[in-house]
A and B are shown apart, each in its own frame.
Chain A
Amino acid sequence: GAAGLSGAGAGGGAERSGANSEDVRCKCICPPYKDHSGHIYNKNVSQKDCDCLHVVEPMPVPGPDVEAYCLRCECKYEERSSVTIKVTIIIYLSILGLLLLYMVYLTLVEPILKRRLFGHSQLIQSDEDIGDHQPFANAHDVLARSRSRANVLNKVEYAQQRWKLQVQEQRKSVFDRHVVLS
């Protein structure tokens, strides 16, 4: 459909001028009447035409009964924005995917890399080693080492190590000592 026109992201809902024609509908629900079973009718009409006479086609009851049938039906005009939904889900899945990759990298790949680069002696395990793994165990020494240098890449690494220390502190408070948020 005309996907691009109705605006991506958060703002798209209110204005409908260029909307995807599949995104509006008039839905009429008609309950069982005499010996006709209940039925649901969907049609793509504008809001002023959203009533039983325009939407219910073919009319299941003969002429004189139409009014009684239509009085029972309830018609609602609905619109949605499929573009918003699509964009939101894709954004969400990509952020989730990136976080998953980063998590796999931090917990599995990085310790292997560090162990290969710096040798076994430098990996000091942190104080407690309970059950689950501690991904940022070597943050302290990396932090100490990189404090002296000052170019951009090391600034990034310094910031990252500082963040890891923070997360480790938080993890200790929440999971190990149960001080906060139990």
Chain B
Amino acid sequence: MASLSSDEWRAICDKFTNAQNLTDVESRNDPENDPFRSKYKARELLREIYCSLKSFEAGEGDEDGGAESSEQRTAEPPVDGQREDGFGEGFSGDSPAGLRAAKLGAVEYYLGVNHVDTEELSAGEEHLMNCMKQLARCRVTSENVSLFIHVRNQLGILWAGRDETETAQGFLETAESIYQRYMKEDGSPPTDMTEYFTSEEKLPTHQERTKRFELAYTHTMYYLAQVYKNLGETERAATYCHTTLQRQLQLNQFSPMEWALNAATLSQYYITKGRYMEGRHCLSAATVISGLAGEVPSEAVAQESETESDRREQLRQKRAEIARCWIKYCLNLLQDSKKLLEDNIGELDTDRQEELKRARRQEEEDEEKGRKSALLFGSEDTFDSIASLEEKVCCLFPLDFTEARGVFLVGQNYVKQAKEYFQMDGYVTDHIEILQDHSALFRGLAFFEEDLERRCKMHKRRVDMLEPICNDLNAQYYLLIRRQLMFELAEIYNEMMDLKLTLANRQADTQSLDNHTIKKFNSLCSASAKYFQMFLDSLCSPEGKVPEHLEEEVLRPALVARFRVARLHSRLISPLPSAQLDNLNKSLENYKYVAEYCESHPEAAAAVETELELSKEMVGLLPLKINRLKAKMATNN
């Protein structure tokens, strides 16, 4: 640097500061018709810096000769992913030659980013690759490691934008391994690239250096997450998102609410994969970190100021969103456990239950091990609160009523929280979805309830929360939601009907039912049929015509509804032969529909295989039963 006077050096530093300012600040105010004005100005300055560096420092030793030969050595532009760059031979980062290469590389880097920003990708690539060439002459040291990472991040972005995801992956994965090796072998706070052009008095602190360097690597993680996502490797992508979140927290580079919501969303990914331990961890962290955003301003305070009212809205909404993610956790855990434990008719399989309970101990040990190897969130002060929140709900499948109830209660509590924000008035769709989840939580719990009377009451609770809404909603705007509600209500009434019958049979010990039970049974049976019929009617045209062709998404529900209506009509209990006949005819009509529809639409048969087989049988058998009844009626008359 002997040939560069301090004034000249200061001029370079000023130009650099200017260029940075133009790029980061001024450019935001560029007019629509000249959107890159400031960036072009910055480019000029960078070019001048480059020329100064080249001319002043040329001939200062043997680097140029060295550069020639090294350029021959790397005549093929280095493609990452093939070898581990930077830790082999070359100038040491802190040698004069190494520093000179790093500085020239940094200017190339900034020129590259500048060209990419102005949508001149090829020129941008060239500059970035020039930076790579400069670096290829050096070993990785604390003086240049930051540039090693940054330039690869940028090349990753560039190639991903060109749809060359694998090339992008190569650059980013090398950045990852350079970081890891550097941290293992050196780990001292590295020089930030801006320092190359900063006068002594403005140099950043160690802390600041570390922060910037770590942030660059956090970006590497984040970009890799996206690259893996685009390559279809969702599991890896999720791990990298997880790491990104973890690093944001560790390095204290996050905004609490945004972070919390992201963690809550990530939990939903884990839930779909059945990874409840990770899901719970994300959710607990989300709840704890969202708490860092502070108290919700009271309504009174919110009315005073717009900022406070905004803050109130934001906090309440995001916390309600997190609560909804918790609801899904509890719900899916209950449902998955039910799937494990149910026998072929959907009842609790006690043998299976015993077996799973025996296997539990092993699982608990595994859970402990899993926790140790998992990527855990938390800083010193949040770690314990996250852990204690995790203890409030299990992440293993509940195996009996007590355990199921624990999960249910946690879920129900979040239902309450979520509903406080997502009220019916203002948030109809959200509110109903929460109610549907609440109903599903009850359904999950009812499976574990052995007392049939109490089980029946749980189903009644479901009816009470869904029925009024189904009837009040505007049929045009909420057609699809209403269809869901109708179907669910039909199923609940059916379930209650079965329970009543089982109960009555248990008590009476005989086949004969008393009048009260028959009345109850019939009313539940009719209610179920009514809602299935409502569902079917909702599929009709405005003129009430039954559709000739059922859309794919309603095909199975529609045929199953027919099948079940048929069944329900044949179960209605009536002493009057004429009413019996009526019911049987209605039943036959619906079985016939299923059989005939599948005959004229052969592609539908696969969706309702068993139901179709039985419907066909019934179409054969029911007329015989009807004829017998008719004959009996004729004899009796």
Q: Do A and B come from one complex?
A: no
B residues sitting closer than 8 Å to A (CB atoms) are none
